Amino acid sequence: MAWNPGQPLFGDRYIIERKLGEGGIGITYLAKNRRGELRVIKTLREQILNDPKWIPHQDKLRHDFRDEALRLALCRHPQSVGSRNRQRNLHPQSFRLG
């Protein structure tokens, strides 16, 4: 999913501030919630999901992405932001960090 600054997400729960970075299969965004708190949201890149070369691997990509969110949710360390609102509460291919 590619999102733009000012774009509301997930029933206006968050507003995209800006893109923070892009990796092999994901994009991270800085977003602000309704209380004005900054959050990071990560989503899968549409280019990967729609690329014919990756179509046979889409289930594994989604599974790996979901596992990343689950691992972050279990991580308890002062230098880790953790994960919240895993896919079931946000977009099926998105999760919130911190």
**Domains in the chain: ranges and CATH:** 8-97 (3.30.200.20)
> For position 11, what pLDDT does the model report?
87
Q: Is the dihedral of CA 61, 47, 82, 8 positive or negative?
A: negative
pLDDT tens sequence across 2-19: 889 999 988 888 999 999
Cα separation, 51 vs 71, whole angstroms: 27
pTM: 0.72
pLDDT tens sequence across 29-85: 999 999 998 888 888 888 888 889 988 888 888 888 888 877 777 776 565 555 554
